[in-house]
Amino acid sequence: MSVPEAVKTAQPAEETFSESYKWFALGLLLLVYIFNFIDRQILSVLQESIKQDLDLSDQQLGLISGVAFALFYATLGIPIARFADKSRRTWIIAAALATWSLMTALCGAAVNFATLALARIGVGVGEAGCSPPAHSLISDYFGPEQRATALSIYALGIPIGVMFGYLAGGWINEFFGWRMAFVAVGLPGVFLALIVFLFLREPPRGMAESQRIAAAAEVPPVRDVFDALWRSKSFRHLSIAAALHAFLGYGLGQWLPSFFIRSHGMSTGELGTYLGLIAGLAGGLGTFLGGYLSDRYGQEDKRWYMWIPAIGMIIPMPLMVMAFLVESPYTALWFYLLPSLMGAFYLGPTFAMTQGLVSIRMRAVAASILLFILNLIGLGLGPYFIGELSDFLRPTYGNESLRFALLFSTVAYLWSSLHYLIAARTINQDLARVAKEAEASAPKVTESVPQPPAHLKGTSDAQDPSK
């Protein structure tokens, strides 16, 4: 049998990654993502102290937490992801973690709006190198039947990171001030970066689907990834839906602490504890359930991967509205519990479907394109819009302007759920098309059948060649 060398390289090789190591790797990536969101989220619980110390407006706080961070975080994600699709992803993640951790610590040295904005830009530059290569790694460790669950476990870094960001930021600020809070959460990430560099191993591309790709295989241009995603009507709608979800989600994450401090007079320590527990426990459970339920029901009908996020936003909407209208802060926190849980359903299925709608070599760039859309609209505009709206409403509502800015912004969840429902209509057809294209482009192996010598041609197996 003669098999071309290029085809040999593409065939499944001996398995070198045990199940236990795959879960260890996922756990390590989860820890990295937790640090990602601790360093990102801590600003929200500190911003009232920063506002008073540096004499900043809500608009400036919105710029620092939104546009200044997201512009670099979102745009640099695509070239870094392109590099990750043809380079060692584990080293990229380690370098990114060290970068954003150091820049978080430097936020504690800010003396005015400009220096704090520059430090936050540095955090955004570092964090741009985290999720696209991490999504690509996880998709090589875990097959399609486990991918939404695995990506949901990775996405637990968001609620857990937010929880520790609230807790650490709130209490460290009360006892040592906001500058020490940035240093305390930033520096440990440098040590974690060394652990990632030493212990996180690079899986072969396509390992989970037994379609291993040679390291030297050609990486499609970014334009081809854009084209592949644009041809998918379901991706167009799920990306818009995720961006609208993030618009409100990041806006709430940034401004909820200020709302409870201004409208309800809560301290940062007490508030950090309550919001941290809600984000970590309710948000964490919702993040896991979103992936688990999608994988469970989506095996028979992939539309569940879009229906689950839509349901997660529609059902708790009345409670979210009430959270901004009631006078008691503790009642408001109870009302916010279910929206925090069900609102997190979207993460796992959204990321998993994006990975499934492109070929193996496109995965990191596909993740970065989704994150570009999600973060530019959600992270970039969400906090800024709410801060700007709060300033605009201040002449009418005074100190309660932020309450109504948050209330008016909740319409983004209903708009998001509509796009998820539209995406569900074509997700099955788009996934089937991508699978068919992958099958058509896969290398074919044809075994060469040994031919009998020329003087034996025409004889049957039953014939005696000596006759």
Task: Render 317-364 in DSSP notation, one character per residue.
Answer: HHHHHHHTT-S-HHHHHHHHHHHHHHHGGGHHHHHHHHHHTS-GGGHH
Q: Does residue 424 form part of some domain?
A: yes
Whole-angstrom distance, CA of residue 28 vs CA of residue 309: 26
Q: Which residue has the tokens 């509502």?
A: 397
Q: What's the per-residue H, E or C state across 160-171?
A: HHHHHHHHHHHH
Structure tokens at 23: 């879960």
DSSP per position, 104-171: HHHHTT--SHHHHHHHHHHHHHHHTTTHHHHHHHHHHHS-HHHHHHHHHHHHTHHHHHHHHHHHHHHH
Q: Does residue 459 form part of some domain?
A: no
The DSSP 8-state label assigned to residue 211 in this structure reads: -
3-state DSSP assignment of residue 47: helix
Q: What is the pLDDT of residue 11?
A: 37
The DSSP 8-state label assigned to residue 64 in this structure reads: I
The DSSP 8-state label assigned to residue 266 in this structure reads: -
Entry field: residues in the chain: 467
Q: Dump pLDDT digits (tens) for 58-82.
A: 888 878 877 777 778 777 877 887 7
3-state DSSP assignment of residue 204: coil
Q: Which residue has the tokens 């440990």?
A: 188
Q: Does residue 362 form part of some domain?
A: yes
Burial 399-410 (b: 16+ CB within 10 A, else e): eebbbbbbeebb
**What is the domain-level CATH number for residue 113?**
1.20.1250.20
Closest by CA to 162, choosing from 254, 234, 29, is: 254
Q: Does residue 236 form part of some domain?
A: yes
DSSP per position, 376-401: IIIIHHHHHHHHHHHHHHHHHHGGGH
3-state DSSP assignment of residue 339: helix
Whole-angstrom distance, CA of residue 151 vs CA of residue 351: 7
Q: What's the per-residue H, E or C state across 173-198?
A: HHHHCHHHHHHHHHCHHHHHHHHHHH
Inter-residue contact 96 to 129 (CB < 8 Å): yes
Q: Does residue 462 form part of some domain?
A: no
pTM above 0.95, yes or no: no
Whole-angstrom distance, CA of residue 430 vs CA of residue 236: 11
Q: What is the pLDDT of residue 209?
A: 59
Q: Does residue 211 form part of some domain?
A: no
Task: Divide the 467 residues of the chain into consecutive groups of 10 and give the mean pLDDT of each group.
Answer: 37 60 94 92 87 86 78 80 82 94 94 91 89 87 83 87 88 91 94 95 74 55 84 92 92 88 88 88 90 88 94 94 94 94 90 84 80 83 88 91 93 94 94 79 48 47 42
Q: What is the pLDDT of residue 208?
A: 63
Q: Does residue 48 form part of some domain?
A: yes
Domain that holds residue 414: 24-203+221-440
> How many folded domains does the chain comprise?
1
Q: What is the pLDDT of residue 106?
A: 94
- The pair phi, psi for residue 13, each rounded to 5°, is -100, 180
Whole-angstrom distance, CA of residue 240 vs CA of residue 369: 12
Q: Does residue 404 form part of some domain?
A: yes
Looking at residue 464, its amino acid is D
